[in-house]
Amino acid sequence: MASAEILGDKWTLLLLRELFLGTTRFSRFQKAIPRMSPSILSKRLKTLEAAEIIVRRAVPAGQAAEYTLTRCGRELGPIVENMAVWGMRWRKRSIAAQDCDLGGFMWDFHRTLNTQGLPDGETVILVQISDRSDLNTWWVIANGDAIDLCPEDPGHAVDIYLTASLANLIALWMGDVTVRDAVEARSVFLDGPRHLLESAQEWMARSPLAGVEPAASIL
């Protein structure tokens, strides 16, 4: 099977990206790529397995199977990374909030939270998307290295309230603006204990590609 036939599909590339980010289970792929239907996800996993890019590992009864990269699959790492960097450099200016999958973005947002910048114990961040009428409230629960994302109230006391339009939240996550500048410009609103507000730049979620500058010109 030609490499283009295996990799020349957006769902496959998104799936590979998740594998390189450490996602291994079907349900986790669904949360990370919510627009990808279960049937398409199943087909793409089978295609990658047939191409020996991933292997499906059996687990104890009652648990979901895990998918992991083979040596062949791991060799695709630089390709997937370079495509992501290329996209940020040349397509960043055309990325619009209205085209963003909110569920997928919040999945990326929550797992890029820097828990090292948070105090010991549990910290609950309530993220409110001010310009969305649905799926506009998300709870991010951090406790040590474990971070959970809940679209429904988990019943935990909230420590930090973070409110912004989706476009402004994306700009903050992408590193286009600092926490201080966003708060001073009132494009992002933070409320909570002083020690968490003052350390917000340290713990705030940040894209791993935030340092990639968009190209100034196509020439």
Could you read off the pLDDT of 97-130 as tens digits, one per residue? 556 788 889 999 999 999 999 999 999 999 999 9
Percent of the chain residues topping a pLDDT of 90? 70
In this prediction, residues 49-55 reach a mean pLDDT of 95
Q: For residues 93 and 214, what is the distance between their CA atoms, to the nearest angstrom? A: 7
Percent of the chain residues topping a pLDDT of 70? 95
* pLDDT surpasses 60 at 35: yes
Task: Report the CATH fold assignment for 3-94.
Answer: Arc Repressor Mutant, subunit A (1.10.10)
Q: What is the pLDDT of residue 9?
A: 85
Question: Domain extents for the chain?
Answer: 3-94, 97-203
Q: What is the pLDDT of residue 90?
A: 81
Count of residues for the chain? 219
The CATH label, of 3.10.20.70, 3.30.1050.10, 3.10.590.10, 3.40.640.10, for the domain at 97-203 is 3.30.1050.10
Task: Looking at mean pLDDT, say which of 2-11, 14-23, 79-88 comes out highest.
Answer: 14-23
* Low-confidence winner among 26-30, 55-59, 189-193 (lowest mean pLDDT): 55-59
- Helices assigned H by DSSP within the chain: 3-7, 10-20, 26-32, 38-50, 71-74, 77-91, 102-111, 166-173, 179-184, 194-198, 200-203
